[in-house]
Amino acid sequence: MRMRNKNRKSTTFRCNAGSRYSFSTIIWSVVGCLVLLHIYALVRHKGGTSGDIQSHYSWHPQFRELEEVEDENFQIPPPRGKRSPRAAKRRPRRSTTIIDEFLDESSQIRHFFFPGQKTAIDPLREGGNNSFYYFPGRIWLDTDGNPIQAHGGGILYDERSRMYYWYGEYKDGPTYHAHKKGPARVDIIGVGCYSSKDLWTWKNEGIVLAAEGTNITHDLHISNVLERPKVIYNEKTGKYVMWMHIDDANYTKASVGVAVSDSPVGPFDYLYSKRPHGFDSRDMTVFKDDDGVAYLVYSSEENSELHIGPLNEEYLDVTDVMSRILVGLHREAPALFKHQGTYYMVTSGCTGWAPNEALAHAAGSILGPWETMGNPCIGGNKIFQHTTFFAQSTFVLPLHGYPGFFIFMADRWNRADLRDSRYVWLPLTVAGAADRPLDYNFGFPLWSRVSIFWHRRWRIPSGWTGMK
C-alpha cells in the first residue's frame, strides 16, 4: 500500500528551475525515444547503419541474385541386391537414408555428390561462360592442373603482397583405417598453401609445413594427425603464425600446434604443441580481431563445448584468459567472423566425416555470452539444409568492400577417399532479423540473420575490386 502511494506521488516532477512537467509529457517523451530507438534498431537490422543499408541494396544486381533460392532434386535409388524372402523376414532392411548414400562408395548417385574429373573446374583453361564461377562440390584444379589440396582450410589476406593465401590439409595420399574402429585417415603430408589474387585461380605454393618422416616421437610424424591449419599475420613481430589441431591417430592427444614463418609461403618452423589452458582441444580456429588481438577457439571437454581465449601479443601462445561457450551443445568445426561490431560463428555437429546440420551463433562480446540463432542454410532442399549442403564449415572469409557479404568455406569430406574431398564455397550474408533471436534490444532482436545460400554455380560480382 505504502509503495503505491509513493509511486502515485511521483506522477509530477519538479525540475531545478521549478517548472512542472506533467506525467503525460514525460510518458510521451519516453514513447518518442522508444520509437526512435525502434527505428534505429530496424535500420540496424536491415543491414547496419543507414550508410550500410545503401551499400547493401546498391550491391551489384548479381549480389541480389546470390540471395535467390535455388532448388535441388535427387532421388534415393531403390535398394540393391536380392535378398531371400526368409532373410528379409528375419531382419527387415533398414531404410537407406540419403546420408547412407552419400557415405556409400558404390552409391548409384555418387556422381551427384562427387562429380567426376570431366566436370573439374580448371581456371586456366575455363574460357568464357564459366570464368570466375564456383561450382560447389566439383573438382577444383590449381594452375598446374592438379586438384587443390587445402582441406579443413582457411584464407589469409596478406596486405603486404596483396595476395590471398589458402592454407589447408594436404591429403593427397591413400585413405586407410589405423584401427578397425578408428576413423578413416590419411597420413600427415603437411600443410598445403595456394596463392591467388582473384579467389578463383590458385597457384600451388607447395607444402609450407611438412610432415616428419623418421622421428616417431615428433608431433608431425606421418602417423599422427594435423588438421584445420589457420594462419594469421602478427604486425608487431612481422611473423606469419600458424595454429593447427595436432593429434595422434586415435585423437587422444587432443592438442593445438603452433608454427611460425617470416613469409606467407613458408617454410613454417614448427614450435610445439600443447593442451590450451590445460584442456583437450580438437577442432579449432583462430580469429584476428580489428584491434589486433587474436583468439583461439577450440572444441573441448570431449567436444561438448567450445573454449575461446585471446592469444599473447606474439600470437605464439594462449593467455590465462579463457571462456567456455556453447556449453553442452556439442559443436565443432568453428568458423568465426565479425560484422558491424557483432561476432558471428558457424559450427557443425560432431559426426566425424559425415555431414550434419550447421548452426549460426552470435555474440556482442567475443568471450561471450554466445547465443544460437539456428540453421543458416537456405536453398537446395530440406536434406541439403540439414547436412550443410553435404559439407562441414571450415572458414568464413569477408569480402572487402562489401560489408555483410562473406564467402562460407566448407569441406565435403569423401570418407572413402579423403584426398578427393571437395570444397563447398557459398555466399554468406549477415542481414535481416534472426530466426531465433534470444537477445532483445528494446523489443527488437539484437542479432542479424546469418544466411548461407545454396548455388550450383555462382561467382563474386565482377565489380569486386579483388578481381582487378
Give the footprint of ligand GAL on this chain (CB under 6 A).
152, 183, 227-228, 283, 332-333, 350, 352-353, 392
CB of 167 to ligand GAL, least distance (A): 14
CB of 72 to ligand GAL, least distance (A): 24
CB of 350 to ligand GAL, least distance (A): 6
Name the E strands within 123-183.
Answer: 133-134, 151-158, 163-170, 176-177
Closer Cβ to ligand GAL, 113 or 353, answer by number: 353
Which H/E stretch holds residue 43? Answer: helix 23-45
CB of 283 to ligand GAL, least distance (A): 5
d(CA 266, CA 194): 11
- Write out the three cell numbers for 49: 547503419
Closer Cβ to ligand GAL, 229 or 403, answer by number: 229
- Write out the three cell numbers for 86: 526368409
Q: Residue 426 is which amino acid?
A: L
Q: Are 310 and 294 in contact (CB under 8 A)?
A: yes
Closer Cβ to ligand GAL, 43 or 184, answer by number: 184
Closer Cβ to ligand GAL, 20 or 180, answer by number: 180
CB of 333 to ligand GAL, least distance (A): 5
Taking CA atoms, 378 is separated from 57, 178, 386, 446, 457, in Å, by 20, 37, 10, 21, 15
Q: Are 115 and 138 in contact (CB under 8 A)?
A: yes
Closer Cβ to ligand GAL, 347 or 385, answer by number: 347
Helices (H) and strands (E) in the chain, counts: 8, 29
Residues 6 or more apart from 106 whose CB is under 8 A from it? none
Closest by CA to 131, choosing from 80, 64, 201, is 201
CB of 332 to ligand GAL, least distance (A): 5
Closest by CA to 383, choosing from 361, 345, 408, 355, is 355
Closest by CA to 188, choosing from 216, 222, 156, is 222
CB of 84 to ligand GAL, least distance (A): 36
Closer Cβ to ligand GAL, 211 or 434, answer by number: 211
d(CA 427, CA 136): 11
- Write out the three cell numbers for 267: 617454410
CB of 219 to ligand GAL, least distance (A): 16
Closer Cβ to ligand GAL, 110 or 330, answer by number: 330
Q: Are 432 and 449 in contact (CB under 8 A)?
A: yes
CB of 308 to ligand GAL, least distance (A): 17
- Write out the three cell numbers for 432: 535481416
CB of 183 to ligand GAL, least distance (A): 4
Would you list the DSSP string of 365-417?
Answer: STTS--EEEE--EESB-HHHHHTTTT-EEEEEEE-TTSTTEEEEEEEE--TTS
Which H/E stretch holds residue 453? Answer: strand 448-453
Closer Cβ to ligand GAL, 52 or 227, answer by number: 227
Closest by CA to 172, choosing from 185, 189, 184, is 189
- For residue 292, the 8-state DSSP code is S
- Write out the three cell numbers for 450: 546469418
For residue 294, what are the β-bridge partners?
288
Closer Cβ to ligand GAL, 355 or 403, answer by number: 355
Closer Cβ to ligand GAL, 183 or 368, answer by number: 183
Closer Cβ to ligand GAL, 141 or 231, answer by number: 231
CB of 352 to ligand GAL, least distance (A): 4
